[in-house]
Amino acid sequence: MHISPLTDLAYQGILGLIDRMQLQADQQLPGENAMAQMLGVSRPVVRQALARLRAEGWVVSRRGSGNYVGQPRLRSVPFDPIGNVDEVRAFLEFRCVIEGECAAWAANNPDRRLVEEISTRRRLLELAVHRGTESIEEDIAFHEAIAKASANNFYSMTMAAIRDHRRMATRLIREFSAQPNIRRLRDIREEHAAIDAAISRGDPEAARQAMVAHIRSGIARLFGPG
């Protein structure tokens, strides 16, 4: 399909609007006329751009209601399965970079609703641990809430794309950690609380450091100190 320069401009412009307005999944976009005025293009051009965004999953249209932010497909962000122990370490180091920045940007977010969601997810994780359940999904939800609060969809997309890798790495850490289980759970709870507290008080550097320290502690639990 031929994509005109104006349609491509509108496509990029709508993605920019989603980012600048900090719109999350299921939140409504401005109307077509409003977007046409914002972007300086015609309404038919906006419609063509929306059709492309719908095809890619960025936008969902609801009859009689308008256009809403969707959950884009992740085929453009492929991650091969982890194949060996060295790749597990490399994956955790990768998480230090990505999630450290997620936490820092989340601490800068003025949207208290998204920041409070992090605290809610942390409490749900603690409840799951207290009940003795596996709690891996609750752990993932806590970290993904931080990515969502970063207000950058690419962080959220990346976190969604590495869910299976996170599940495997978490299970490995739990199974092979030399640290006694009670102490490990206590330390992780304190690490999560430190991340949450730094984000809640709006301290980006402390949030980044707390997240990196948390993931590096996971590396130490699995591979030993050093």
Which numeric CATH code is attached to 85-223? Answer: 1.20.120.530
Contact 78, 160 (CB under 8 A): no
Annotated domain spans of the chain: 5-69, 85-223
What integer pLDDT is reported at residue 11 of this predicted model?
85
Q: Which residue did the predictor score with more confidence, 190 or 8? A: 190
Rounded to the nearest integer, the mean pLDDT of the chain is 90
What integer pLDDT is reported at residue 75 of this predicted model?
45
Element (H, E) at 74: none
Of residues 142, 154, 141, 140, the one with CA closest to residue 196: 142
End-to-end CA distance of the chain: 54
Burial (Cβ within 10 Å: 0-12, 13-18, ≥19) of residue 51: middle
Q: Which residue did the predictor score with more confidence, 107 or 19? A: 107
CA distance 93 to 127: 28
In the chain, the percentage of residues whose pLDDT exceeds 90 is 62
pLDDT digits (tens, 9 = 90+) for 114-126: 999 999 999 999 9
What integer pLDDT is reported at residue 72 of this predicted model?
66
The DSSP code for 67 is E
Q: Which residue did the predictor score with more confidence, 137 or 3? A: 137
Lowest mean pLDDT among 37-41, 57-61, 68-72, 210-214: 68-72
CA distance 182 to 184: 5
In the chain, the percentage of residues whose pLDDT exceeds 70 is 95
What integer pLDDT is reported at residue 1 of this predicted model?
41
Residues recorded for the chain: 226
Contact 198, 171 (CB under 8 A): no
pLDDT digits (tens, 9 = 90+) for 130-160: 999 889 999 999 999 999 999 998 898 899 8
Q: Which residue did the predictor score with more confidence, 58 or 211? A: 211
Burial (Cβ within 10 Å: 0-12, 13-18, ≥19) of residue 226: exposed
Which numeric CATH code is attached to 5-69? Answer: 1.10.10.10
Burial (Cβ within 10 Å: 0-12, 13-18, ≥19) of residue 167: middle
Question: How much is the average pLDDT of 104-110?
Answer: 96
Whether the predicted model's global pTM rises above the 0.75 cut: no
Measure the CA angle with vertex 101, ends 74 and 71; round to 5°: 25
Measure the CA angle with vertex 125, ends 26 and 81; round to 5°: 75
Copy the structure tokens of residue 201: 């008080």
Q: How confident is the model at residue 182 (pLDDT cuts 50, 70, 90)?
A: very high
